[in-house]
Every structure is written in C-alpha cells, then in structure tokens.
Structure 1
C-alpha cells in the first residue's frame, strides 16, 4: 500500500511545514535540520509529533472527506451544478475502483503518523530523564485514540480493510497486508480505546481549547459508545455514555434562536462540545468553498419542509436547527458552518467554525439508542424529548411512539438524529447502523431514503444495488490492488 509509505525524514519535513500554520495551542515546531537519528530524543520531540497529529486532521482533505462519506449517499444533500463526475458516480451508486473518491490514502496516512508516535515515543523516555511515564502514556493514548478513530471510519466506509498497527518507515517494510474483517477492525478499535482510556488526560489544565480540541478521557468514551453500538453491545455503550454524563462537565447549549447557532458552532468550544477539530484564522476550514463560494453541496429537496417542518399559523414557532440553523431555506445552502447568527454569515476570512466530532447531544442520543435496544423505551424517549425540547422541535414531527414499541422508537430516534446532526457527517452512518441491525431487519431505512433522492430514471437501478449489503461499502481503489497483492476487491465490485 504505497499510501502508507512515509519515511520518517519526510514526516519531519512535513511536520515542520505544517507547524508554520498551526493553531493557537499547537505551537511547538521541531528544530530545523533534524533527521531521523536525531529525533525521538526528548519529550519536546514527542510533543511536536503529537501536535502534528492534530494538525494532520485539519490541514489536509480529511474533513471534506468525512463530510462527503457521511452525507453524499443521503437525502440530506443535493449536488449542485458545480459537481464533478466522480461525485455524481458516488451519489448515484455507480462507483468503480478507478473513482478517486474510493482512495483511502488520507486515513492511512494519519494512521501511520499515529503509529510513528506509538512505536517511537518510548525512545525519548529512555533518552530524556525529565520525561515522565505519565506524560509519555498520555501522548501515546492520544495517538491510539486518533488511530482508532481513523480505523473506525475505514471499517464503516470500506467494510473489510487492512489493519496497519506498526509504523511504515521505508519502502522496504512489508506492505503486503491482507484485509481484516469489519468485526476484527471494530475489535482492534475497542482494544486501542480501552488501552488509551487509562492513559489520556481528563483535562489539559483548564484550557478550554485544549480540552475540546485534544483527546481526553471523555473523547475516548464517546468513541467507545459509538463503536459499541456498531457491535450491538448495548450495555457497554450505555456504560460509556454514563461515564460522560456523570462527569458533570457537559450540558446542552440553550436552544434560544439567538444563541444556539452562535454558541455551539460559530464560536465553538462550548459546554456541549466533547471533541471538536479546531480551526482558526491561520487554519481555515473548507466549508466556505464547499457550501457558499461555488457550493458543491446544497440542502436536499424538502429537508426543511419534511424534516423540520413549518408552523404556518405561527412564524415565531420554529425548530432552531432548521432555517438559519442547519440550513438556509431561501437559498438552499447549508448554513450551519456559515452563520455567525441567524442574520449574519461569516466571510471567507472568518471561516473557522469547528468540525464537531462528538458533542453532548450525541452522547444523549447514543444512550437513548442503547436504552431502546435494551427494552427501556421510556428512558430512551425521555432523552429524545430532552433534545427536542432544547431545539423547540415542532409537534408536527413528533411520532409519539409508545414506550413499549421499540421499532417506532427506532424510527423516531433516527429522524431526530437527522434533525440534530444535520450536515455533521453522521447521516449515512446512522442510517447504515440502524438498517444493518438484526441481519438487516430494517433495510427499508436505506431503500426508503434512496427512493427520496434518486432520480426517476436511476431509482430502480439504485434500489437493486442497495438491496445488496455489499454495496453499502466502497470498492478498494485500483492502485491499492496493484501494489498490495494480498488485497482482494470488495465483493460487490468483483464482477
């Protein structure tokens, strides 16, 4: 896998250049002229390498990729006139292995940076007597968590994928790595997170930006809860959510129309945020270009009217997540990352709204999902209604499910997740997770969604493909197959 080839000297050069545009709290550069044999000598070297991990999450194409993979196959978006053929093929289930969007290189590049820290940071502990074991463990825990997060995405996007758990230093390393099953990857993710949970910090000493923008124990537990839901291990998912809830460190941002968007997104690092990728004036996000300048993605047809709904009798009664919350109903643009408030938008120079990885609302709804699967319907509904009350969700879309009807609660919960996390890169993964449970007992979640957005002339073809679970995962990019002879193409794309 050539995408995994990162020689350490190249890594240090890249890290040095990335540090020139680092965020406020990623402020340590490696010294000029360092080469492989001179690195991993001090705790500062390790700190620099770990800071480089966070820079890698915001400086490349990762966030654009997370958005695309989470939204493009859903009814939440439409492709604009500025779209490309490769996006069109992805959206309308016409993917082939030559489509560049199937390239997983960005994820493995970050994994290899993590592996570099995990494998080599202990060397600095041997050389630097001021480097404590506690600090070393914390750095390795951060790298383990980011590696787990990337592997979690790989397994949900491609299904069965190679597990690369050691650093690739040169082209001489063995890169003929076969795929592990999705279940095995999930197990490896849990193993990394379980190990990291005992290593990472609870807080970075009162710095809000660091507590929200770096890996903490709460980040680890939020990610664990998510993985456990994919493994159908609801007791463990519930326990992970409860650790976060019982910490007392988080609460929902008030849902007032004048403050919800501004506090949670425009400003960021609110009391609701658990892990947010940090952008600032030195490192802008990609959303101004994606959603406004020459928008690639627009709001899906009827999302506002059918998902959030309208109270025509009372214009002052509206869901704060709807118009001028997540979307702009008048222009059809995605608004969540543009707005300063309901009236003002950010300029290009102000486009540094953070990317939400996990926030407290997600924890509450993951807990509701686990409770519902454990036949504790009323407790699940209490959490769903807590989210709805905060947002002033309209009564028109209240499905009013019975506490004893888990299937109806599931439908209600999936719709509420769509309203709450619109355009946060979660929709496809939510629908797939709910659909695949109990041997795809709710495949209709996927097929009904496809019916909503598929053009009439493509609908039957797309439905035929999506009825095959193998189609829910992407093909392996053709160059990976050429370079790694241990790989085999994903089943749906072999004919």
Structure 2
C-alpha cells in the first residue's frame, strides 16, 4: 500500500483519504476514496477515516515490525538461502540512510491521518454534526490521539528526535519543512496524546471480541502507557497502568501446558496447533491479546508478510532462529514446540500442518498481549524492590508453558540487575519474534553487553537508526543522527 512517490509522501504525508477495503473486525462497510471537498460532511466519514488510519498502520508495520524489533538483536540469524542486502546490513549492524527500512514515511502517514481526524472532527462538532453523538465523537478522537501517540512512541525509540507534526498536510505540492524536536518534547507530546485519549474517554470494548482487539481500547491505551513508562524508567507509573490491565476481565492468559494431557507433542508436533496459545498467533484475537494489527487476505487482500521473514514452509525466509535463543529453552518448555522447527525455522506464526502460504500469509501482528504486560510489570516490581512479586509473575508465565518455576532459594541473594536478566530471558522466550527484543535490550541498557560480541555495537549513539536520505533531501531542516554523519 505504500506509494513510491516520495515527494507526495515527504515528511508528514499528504491528506490522502483513501480508505481501503472492508474490515470485518472493525465493522465498517466498504468505503471508496473521498476527495477533501466532499469529506467531513457527516459523521460516518470521520469514522471511515479512522479505519483508514488503521489500514495505514497495517502498511507501516507489515514486516517492518521484525526489522525494527528483531533484526538487530540476538533472536535471529541470517538464512543463507535468502540473502538480502538490507537484512544482512541489519544483522551485521551496518545501517545506512539508503536502506528502505530507514524511512519513517509509513508512520507519518498514520500521524497525518490522525491529524486530519482531530482537526476536522472538531470543526464538525462546531457545525453541530455531532449533536447528540458525543460518544461517537469521543470514540473517534480518542483513537486518533492513541494512534498518533503510538506512532510517535515507536518512532522516537528508533530515530530519537522527531519532527512533531500536529496539523494535517493538505497539499501534495506543499513545501513542507520542519526541524526535529528534542526527545523531551516528543515525550511530552506522547504523554499529552495518551492523556487526551484517556480523558475522551476511549472505550473499554467494542461490539465484538475481534474489534476490541483490533482497535485502541482503554486496555490497549494502558498497555501503551506501561510500555512508555518503562521506556522512561518511570516504574511507579508503569505499575499503576499495568495493574489496570491485570484487573481487567477482558484479558486472560491462553492455555498451553496441561499436566493431565496425554498428548506427546514430540511424537505429534502438529497437534500443538490446537492449543489456545498456538492459535493466538495463527488465528488471532485471543483472550490474551490486548492490541493487534488485523490482516485478512480473504476479505481485504491484506498481508503481514511474515512468510518473507519467518517460516521456511515452501518459501525461504530472511531469518532463522539463533542458537543463542533456542538454547534458552528446556526440553519441557512447550514454547519451543511452538516457536521452532527442527532446522531452525521460525514457525511461531504458522500452522505446523496444512499451512497455505498463498492465502494464509495474513497473520496478525500482536502489538501488546497480557504476557508482555505481566513481564514488564515484573521488571518494574524488581526495580522498586519487590523481588518476590516480580518472580511470582515470571513463574506465572513459566508455569503456563510447562517450564519449571524459580524457587525463592534459586534467586535469593541475586542483585537487582541479575533478577532483571532473568526477567529479560523470560521475555526472550515468551515474546521472541514479536518485535520486542531490540527494544528490551536498549530500554534496560544491556544492548552493548549482549550484542557487541554478535554485531559489534559498542556506543549508545549507534542505538538510533539513520534517517532516510530521501527524507533529508525533501526536508532541508532535517539533520542526520550523529553516528551516521
């Protein structure tokens, strides 16, 4: 869905109101593109524009979630049968501003669409179009604030300073140049948008279970709050926001291990497809899911393109599982049966039998799920001195997988940093290949320690990504990150 016209989609993107096909999970009828002149005249158009923002997010995240969150870390190695210059550069930490993945264009498409919604719904309200429709007005605006906050949070973790764009770009030929704002200003913008979404208020659920997990809800907002606070090392705030999720009956851990089960997954590995845990990744919208990006090939011809980066199911993907990660799993940990094939193929998102890559390469991208928040909360508890509480949460995740749990004696005397290592190892096992590992290592200050022997990263300035050369050429006020100058 990405345009090749970089002039049209320069910094914040033009005001495209192209709303792609029907989203069953979002319960909207098929919508064609509208010109700006006949748009914003009735409230369903604003709602349609919101779903257009979600579709733009599909494009921004498809496959890139792996490049950004996994490719520079230690969970994957290069598949020599699928050599790609871009993936090789990422794995060896040889990033440059000419790599397509260095462009933030897709995220700014979503930002611009959010800006359009926020500006025009306010005008629509002033015209009386939302009279008697306060809940509808709040729902649309709250999600637009949340989407913008998500994009700015994702981008600032990659590129640091960002151009803060809060007004829509309305003219494709507009000479649009804006300097980057310091990360403190970016954080303030994110916080303000999160708070605005919360106060609107954003709904707790929608009409269906799938819609509740494919759109921003209060639960998804609290997950983003938790992630944001952990990134900023604001642990008490993270504990408060994560507790709201743990107290929310909408979410529950899916099941995997059962002591009473007579199934031997070593003999019949394909039977693990039937577990709710496995189907969380292959079918989507599980009870554990908090927010995921919805793809559907049959209805909308949308793909997440996971098959190009993972799999080895009749198609050579870019990545395979690293021995460093696979060695972290014990033989009784059922997650290893979910995650890997015998040749190192990454199978987490694919059915172990009967997978059709021509029609089933539409697995959803899970942005937040309950296990992720539980383990982030464990980190925060450890940082605030509650080691027992932290390890109780870790053991909850391990028990679900059939792995042995930590006894109090096994972690007695360990330092806060050593406990954090245990938690990060558990996050690596539980959340591998979901786009989390790189951010975990950077957030906790362990990227150099873990990755220098693997890809040579040695200075914090190298944590940031280069800004696309195309973006710099289009915006005279952009400066390149120091490591790449």
Give the alignment's TM-score, normalised by structure 2: 0.88
- Please name the residue that 1:202 is paired with: 203
Q: Is the CA contact 1:200–1:216 (under 8 Å) kept in the aligned structure 2?
A: no
- Please name the residue that 2:346 is paired with: 334
Cα deviation, residue 35, structure 1: 2.5
Cα deviation, residue 97, structure 1: 1.9
- Please name the residue that 1:297 is paired with: 319
Moved over 6 A (4+): 395-399
SS at the partner of 2:82? coil
SS at the partner of 2:63? helix
| C-alpha distance after superposition, 1:81-133 (max 9, x if no partner) | 31321221222122222222211111111111111111112233325255612
Change (3 A) 1:398 1:186: farther
Change (3 A) 1:309 1:345: farther
Q: Is the CA contact 1:118–1:143 (under 8 Å) kept in the aligned structure 2?
A: yes
SS at the partner of 1:298? strand
Cα deviation, residue 203, structure 1: 3.8
- Please name the residue that 1:469 is paired with: 460
Aligned partners of 1:155, 1:133: CA distance in 2, in Å? 33
Aligned partners of 2:76, 2:407: CA distance in 1, in Å? 20
Q: How does 1:42-441 map to 2 (within 5 A)?
A: 42-58=42-58, 60-80=59-79, 81-125=81-125, 126-128=127-129, 132-171=133-172, 175-256=176-257, 257=272, 258-280=274-296, 281-282=298-299, 283-291=302-310, 292=312, 293-304=315-326, 306-310=327-331, 318-323=332-337, 325-328=338-341, 330-339=342-351, 343=353, 345-394=355-404, 400-402=410-412, 405-435=415-445
* Uncovered stretches (5+) of structure 2, i.e. residues with no partner: 1-6, 258-271
Structure ranking higher in helix proportion: 1
| C-alpha distance after superposition, 1:427-472 (max 9, x if no partner) | 000011011xxxxxxx4x4333342x44xxxxxxx2xxx2211001
* Uncovered stretches (5+) of structure 1, i.e. residues with no partner: 311-317, 436-442, 455-461
Aligned partners of 2:409, 2:439: CA distance in 1, in Å? 22
Cα deviation, residue 173, structure 1: 5.0
Aligned partners of 1:35, 1:347: CA distance in 2, in Å? 36
Q: Is the CA contact 1:252–1:272 (under 8 Å) kept in the aligned structure 2?
A: yes
Change (3 A) 1:86 1:351: closer
Q: Which has the higher contact order (CA 8 A, sep 6+)?
A: 2
Aligned partners of 2:103, 2:12: CA distance in 1, in Å? 15
Change (3 A) 1:403 1:168: farther
SS at the partner of 1:166? coil
After TM superposition, the structure 1 stretch with the greater mean CA deviation from structure 2, 418-427 or 167-176, is: 167-176
Q: Is the CA contact 2:256–2:334 (under 8 Å) kept in the aligned structure 1?
A: yes
SS at the partner of 1:350? coil
Aligned partners of 1:36, 1:288: CA distance in 2, in Å? 37
1:488 to 472, 479, 483: 479
Aligned partners of 1:140, 1:134: CA distance in 2, in Å? 10
Q: RMSD of the alignment, in Å?
A: 2.4
Q: In the comparison of the two structures, how many residue pairs are matched?
A: 455
Is 1:446 equivalent to 2:448 in the alignment? yes
Cα deviation, residue 249, structure 1: 2.2
1:3 to 7, 10, 15: 10
Aligned partners of 1:123, 1:93: CA distance in 2, in Å? 47
Cα deviation, residue 419, structure 1: 0.4
| C-alpha distance after superposition, 1:59-99 (max 9, x if no partner) | x2522111111000111111223132122122212222222
Aligned partners of 2:407, 2:277: CA distance in 1, in Å? 21
After TM superposition, the structure 1 stretch with the greater mean CA deviation from structure 2, 227-236 or 84-93, is: 84-93
Give the alignment's TM-score, normalised by structure 1: 0.86
Q: Is the CA contact 1:377–1:405 (under 8 Å) kept in the aligned structure 2?
A: no
| C-alpha distance after superposition, 1:149-185 (max 9, x if no partner) | 1111111111122111211111565632111222321
Change (3 A) 1:418 1:77: same
Q: Is the CA contact 1:299–1:327 (under 8 Å) kept in the aligned structure 2?
A: yes
